Homo-oligomer: A and B are copies of this chain.
Amino acid sequence: MPLTDEQLDNVCRKFKYRITTRNEILLHAGEVCPHMFFVNKGVLRVFLLDEQGKEFTRFLVFEGRFGTAFPSFILQEPSLASVQSIEASEILYIPHKDLMELIDTIPGWEHAYRVGLERDYIASIKRIESLIALSAKQRYDQLMANNPEMIRRLPAKIIADYLGITQETLSRLRAKN
């Protein structure tokens, strides 16, 4: 979508840039998520923590993708999930109010945002399908087919947690491949 210089300048000024450290928490559960994040380098994790301190990985946000604790960000309610940068990462982030203003005022942004939403919603449906209908092996094979880089790059603990399987099962599946 073609932007005037003024519009482009307006967009750029709303995004802030920073470098995160490994395992840094960008949002704690219980806070209202103020930002939509864009991962320029690195990877973010959106996860739940239960009362016993057990972690459950809800989503991973890879390079070139937007991500946030979505329900909290959209509803501006306290978040059930926390957001963490698993690696030292380069991120851009924009406050809720500013993103909504861009969507409402810059031609084409509502459309682009909507298409991104459809894609993310489809990804979440596929995650539900894998959780309800696939075996541990099928989940692992699906991840290998769709995101082999993730398996090479992330700690076994997080991969096992994302797949909803134990680390022992993950080791067994890896040994077989």
Q: Give A residues with C-beta under 8 Å from B.
A: 48, 50, 56-58, 70-71, 74-75, 80-81, 110-111, 113-114, 117-118, 120-122, 124-129, 131-133, 164
Smallest CB separation, A88 vs chain B (Å) = 27
User: Is there contact, CB below 8 Å, between A124 and B128?
Assistant: yes
- Residues of B near A129 (CB, < 8 A) are 48, 56, 58, 80-81
Report the separation of the CA atoms of residues A118 and B120 in the bound assembly, to the nearest whole angstrom: 10
CB-based contact B118/A74 at 8 Å: yes
Q: How far is the CA of A75 from the CA of B129 in the complex (A)?
A: 17
Q: Give bound CA distance, A113 to B48, whole Å.
A: 29
Contact A117 B121 (CB under 8 A): yes
Closest residue of B by beta carbon distance from A163: B132
CB-nearest residue of chain B to A80? B129
Residue pair A132, B58 in contact (C-beta under 8 Å) = yes
Contact partner of A120 among B58, B114, B121, B132, CB < 8 A?
Answer: B121
Contact of A70 among B57, B114, B121, B164 (CB under 8 A): B121
- Residues from chain B with a CB closer than 8 A to the CB of A57 are 132
Q: Which residues of B contact A111 (CB under 8 A)?
A: 110
CB-based nearest B residue for A119: B74
The smallest beta-carbon distance between A2 and chain B, in angstroms, is 18
Which chain B residue shows the least CB distance to A49? B133
In the bound complex, how far is the Cα of B122 from the Cα of A164, in angstroms? 20
Quick one: closest B residue to A69, CB to CB? B125
Q: Are A71 and B114 in contact (CB under 8 A)?
A: no
CB distance from A23 to the nearest CB of B (A): 20
Can you give 6 A-B contacts (C-beta < 8 A)? A70-B121, A70-B125, A121-B124, A124-B124, A127-B128, A131-B164
